[in-house]
Structure 1
Amino acid sequence: VQEKLKINKISLDIIDETNEAYVSCHPSMLSQGILNLINNSCDAILALDTKWIKLHITREADGVVKLAVIDSGLGITENKLDKLFTPFFTTKQNIGGTGLGLSLTKKIVENCGGTLQYIKESKNTCFVMTLLEVTTNSAASSHAKSIYFNNENYDELAEKLFNNKKILMIEDEIELAEMYAVRFSEWGAEVKCVAEFDEALTYIMDLSNSIDLVITDICIINGTGIDLLRELKVLRPRLPAVVMTGSVAPNLELLFDLGAANVLEKPFVFEKLVIASLNALLPSQYKWKRSVPRAHYKNKILIEFNNKNYNVSIDNIGLGGMFIATEGEDFKVGDEISFDFNVEVEANRFVKITGRAVIRWIRFKQKEQLPPGIGVEFSFISKKSRRAILNIVNSKKSSTYIPISA
């Protein structure tokens, strides 16, 4: 961004009226959000005679800090305001742009418990971040280094699984990749960031390079993430990969068939990347596969998909997923469902298990004695629910093997 400001002779003034303020947000994530707004301003005012950007920080009486990014532009036209924060909507037709900057920045700020607003009453183009102020730097840092998702804290698991792990990240947005690398390094991971297909392939082919996880975008310089997955399947078939994509309708079935452990559709908050990476790195005994031991288990389950509810039945279950007996016409591989069901843990005492799962395979019709249904892998499930499922599996050890033909 500094280089862009210098080359295009754009002035940047920082006006901090707080003297010193701490907010509840991770520094690198907040920096990325601010950089996104400044970068957008740069692109918007390139053709103007007067080119300036101001970063104005104020403390409000209600315990919040406001950070405004204002530029010399005259605002955004009324007909574009409704779609301003919509993913893939861009006003940069002449200079390119993914349309992810504002929507991603909004997610970053909301993930910090704040808001991002466009101030249409302003004489110049103005976006304002509103963030909760905390009293000390240590309080801000403590919250910043924690990873929360659906009110679950994943710090302990992240420290165990990421410590000393070697991650290869292929992302053509270098600043974004470096921001992710900083976050992963806080749990002890070593991250190698590359932007080009050829560089990534050379690194993978050199077997002296230890790699535990690959994180790749679909769009990379001089190639695609799909090409990389094909090479990975041959060169390092056991290496887990997480795929990031900005495609409106990615071919999920192809990506999973090529070995992707998880696919994340942009824009997403960093926490989703962490959860996807944790799932990819989990030891094999915690993963669900069609051929590994799990429990025969019959129970009613409510699943929600596309705003419709389905009252169906679980046929078997494991720590990583389950088979749900249902007609499969409404579903396709890669769809994500929400679910809940009750498990009796003691006489007349029930635990409600809720979560989300991704459909990995579908049996559309009866096959011998096997019912039609969907095989799903948990994408999110609470620790409490996971413990309850573990108890189910442990209590039915005599009948846990489901053959690969299932």
Structure 2
Amino acid sequence: MRVLVIGGGGREHALLWKLMQSPRVTKVYCTPGNGGMGAHAVTPPISSTDVESLVRFARENQIDLTVVGPEASLMAGVVDAFEREGLAVFGPRKSAARVEGSKRFAKELMEKYGVPTGRYRAFTDPEAAIRYIREQGAPIVVKADGLAAGKGVIVARTLDEAEKAVEDLMRSRTFGKAGEEIVVEEYLEGEEISLMAFVDGETVRPMVPAQDHKPVFDGDRGPNTGGMGAYSPVPQISEERIRQIVQEILEPMARGMEQEGLRYRGVLYAGLMMTDAGPKVIEFNARFGDPETQVVLPRLDSDLAEILSAVTEGRLQEISIRWKPESSLCVVMASEGYPGDVVKGKKIRGVPAATGETMVFHAGTSREEGALITAGGRVLGVTALGADLQSAREAAYRSVESIEFEGAHYRKDIGARGVKARQT
């Protein structure tokens, strides 16, 4: 089987790494790829949203399965174009990917099909949004309606912060067109987790849960990022709660999209808050999470290529999915200035070779005259497996300490909450 992975981040590197373990897979391509993928895959420099070129490449290279990584590719209509050409592709069509591409659209679906989430209002007028915020009070959450690389969410602790968020998103257009419309949401309190599932129509097969760390600094301080690290499992959340999430959130959402005529084949990702009133949805994503994928896939004990093929062929119900009991933890190393403007081109030294227990997934890296250099905000995802969270955490941070590049920063508390929960 010849497989094409679309994208160039840590998520796509993890997908590539896991797919290469399948005896079904004979050759892997990744476009545009990054500085860490070239040793394992052919990485043609095609943009992940250049639909026409991607289709042509898949056809000319006789690709048997294409796996779409980024949300921008889904919203560009990559899946729709591949399907029109009769090419096997993993991911939802553009119409279904709107569950991530539009916060308002997702909220309306949740409201219609009884999926628990926070109260909200959508706005295209900044003055109306500010009036509503003043009526509701703080803390409150302000979100760009469209795609913003995981950074268009502002958890405002004060009214001033909330009003500034409206100004930044709608008037200054910090995230461009994504802020033409915003969603203002109730602030939810509790333990936050991510639960992804393979979905084929109404068939839902959950993965193992993970907990992401969005804010840039230790102690959940600073602005939100695309994710500074993650771990799995999440000891604070019981198996009973996970079953509740599947039954009350993931399965109703999948059924609802089917009823709306939105055939969903791919990964449905639920970002959740475990409130006193039960689990509530913060957001839905239409693809593998990043960095959640970097801790979930190392725990997968089944053939990923087989699972993805089953989803694209509409036979997910036939597949058995197994998971390893070990724990997994990922620490993201970022460039100076992230999640704001960053300086690229810094040499990276000391990246350890992959072992059975430790992997380094490249994200914002490239190669220049043979040297590995920084090429983005989130640079590397250092991941380790261990018998428990504490051992996985220790192994990941040992690898982090061996890696150097100018301006590197990372959170020192990834997984601390889970380790503490395991010990109590």
Shared fold (TM-score, shorter chain, > 0.5): no
Find the structure with the greater CA-based Rg. Answer: 1
Higher relative contact order (CA 8 A, sep 6+): 2
Where is the strand percentage greater, Structure 1 or Structure 2? Answer: 1
TM-score between the two structures when normalised by the length of structure 2? 0.23
TM normalised by structure 1 equals 0.24
